[in-house]
Amino acid sequence: MLPRGLLQLPVLMQTVKQRFDKSVKSEETEFVSRLAGKKNYVVIGRAGLDLYADPPGTHIEEATHFTAALGGSAANIAVALTKQGCKAALISAVSQDAVGRHVLRQLETYSIDIRHIAQVSGEQRTSLAVVETRAENCQSVIYRNGAADFEVQKDQLSTIAWRDYDALIFTGTNLAKEPSRGTTHAAISAAHQAGLAVIMDVDHRPYSWANAEEAASAYRAAAEQCDIIIGNDEEFAVVAAGGDGLDIARELATKLSKIVVYKMGPKGAITFTAGAEFETPIFQVKALKPTGAGDAFMGGFIAGLANGESIPSAMRRGAATAAIVVTRVGCAPAMPTTAEVLKFIEEY
């Protein structure tokens, strides 16, 4: 499996093919209206340090210079939201050292609320990724032994004024280990009690799990508590535990009234609602590198819903966000502003 964020993550745009019946459209409108104008999000998951081999095109083995940037899926999603007019707070943990402090400072430069991020001592370390900026054969080496973000604790949730937020976003990697898994479930419960929407990015990282069966069980249990679930075809295949990932995505949408985005790389994506679906092909862009597309899509898609857009229109915004990010160096630094996204859509 390719690492998350690589070319299997689609850069999306609206397709003509849509199938909605009246009852589903009413249900869809009701849910979308819950997020319209709601722009304050709390995200739980990892924040880390990315080192990009410089200049672009350089192999890691041959690099003598690296560019440092904020990374980690949850942090990238939060940045994507703030760059498009939303607010975001991050629940996480970083190591109590210079790298952890660097990550915290970077988060603040993107206007991310860091009050709910713990600094942990001991052997835990902030996640590190060493990455190439290459469209083909892009290497990404992830260091997550003793990852600090897995140490996020339930007591970090006690000071959160949940009703100040509009939705909780979490990544599936949180569920791979304790205490992060229990803390994420506690956050989901708190969000439900406060009336927040709950949004999941499957974000499967096989190296974080003991086995695929454990991952499937954890993902399925969490997905059943969510309003929106986003993942690619390989990730949904894991959720299906050996079954058909497309069937699981459709089942989650139809039986549990979820919005599910099933991404298929160059084939685009299928979005499922309760009893309806529509397809979305990719934008064709000349990518500088493949990383960051998935996080960008999530941020852009949710920002679109927050701005009152329909689900297909928000998909297009997510697509444009991802398309821009893969043409730039980095993930968090590459996230575009609302003006850049709208201009891209207009000129495409």
Instruction: Copy the structure tokens of residue 151.
Output: 């140490």
Q: Rounded distance, CA 344 to CA 192, Å?
A: 36
Residue 64 lies in a domain: no
Q: Rounded distance, CA 125 to CA 104, Å?
A: 14
Q: What is the pLDDT of residues 138-176, one digit of tens each?
A: 999 999 999 999 999 999 999 999 999 999 999 999 999
Residue 151 lies in a domain: no
Residue 241 lies in a domain: yes
Q: Which residues contact 121 (CB under 8 A, 6 or more apart)?
A: 95, 96
Q: Rounded distance, CA 35 to CA 227, Å?
A: 11
Query: Which CATH number do you get for residue 266?
Result: 3.40.1190.20
Q: Rounded distance, CA 133 to CA 126, Å?
A: 22
Residue 88 lies in a domain: yes
Count of residues making up the chain: 348
Structural domain boundaries enclosing 256: 18-47+72-94+112-118+161-347
Q: What angle do CA 258, 262, 263 make, to 5 degrees?
A: 150
Instruction: Copy the structure tokens of residue 308.
Output: 């009152």
Q: What is the mean pLDDT of residues 324-333?
A: 97
Transcribe 112-123 into DSSP letters: -B-TTEEEE-TT
User: What is the number of domains present in the chain?
Assistant: 1
Residue 181 lies in a domain: yes
Indicate the average pLDDT of the chain. 91
Do the beta carbons of residue 41 and residue 165 sit within 8 Å? yes
Percentage of the chain beyond pLDDT 70 is: 91
Name the CA radius of gyration of the chain, rounded: 18
Q: What is the pLDDT of residues 294-319, one digit of tens each?
A: 999 999 999 999 999 999 999 999 99
Residue 148 lies in a domain: no
Q: What is the mean pLDDT of residues 197-215?
A: 96
Residue 318 lies in a domain: yes
Residue 13 lies in a domain: no
Q: Rounded distance, CA 250 to CA 260, Å?
A: 8
